[in-house]
Structure 1
């Protein structure tokens, strides 16, 4: 699943491909907000992204749809 993290005062969002469930990610953010610490998320390849929890503007979850490979879906002639 892909999680997009919006960060206050940042022009771009962070995108993390993780194996964590949305509920687990939300619980981690809530815990980080309660303790005034960093919110961190580890991706499927073991890389970790950390953001001050109070600077997280939003989380956007997308289902893994698989990546498309190639130049097009159809062929001609």
Structure 2
């Protein structure tokens, strides 16, 4: 699924694909914000790890878990 993370005072956003479920990502971010951690980490499908500061978190957009259709819809 696609994840997009906006960081304050940054013109770009983090955008990557992850194999984690929506619930896992939501819990990871909520736990980091509730416990006042200074950052949280998420890894993508290719094995890269992203360390995101919670103080600069503007938004998190989590895509759907459905597979995309290819072709025309009639």
TM class by shorter chain equals 0.7 to 0.9
The higher radius of gyration belongs to 1
Q: Give the count of matched residue pairs.
A: 68
Under a length normalisation based on structure 2, what TM-score does the superposition of the two structures give?
0.77
CA contact (8 A) 1:17 1:43 kept: yes
Q: Where do 5+ consecutive residues of structure 1 fail to align?
A: none
Under a length normalisation based on structure 1, what TM-score does the superposition of the two structures give?
0.74
Matched position secondary structure for 1:9:
coil
Shift of the alpha carbon at 1:9? 1.0
User: Which protein has the bigger helix share?
Assistant: 1
Per-residue CA deviation, residues 1-47 of structure 1 (Å, 9 max, x unaligned), is: 01000111110110121001111111101111122221211001111
Match of 1:7 in 2: 7
Matched position secondary structure for 1:24:
helix
Alignment of 1:27-66 (within 5 A): 27-37=27-37, 38-63=39-64, 65=68
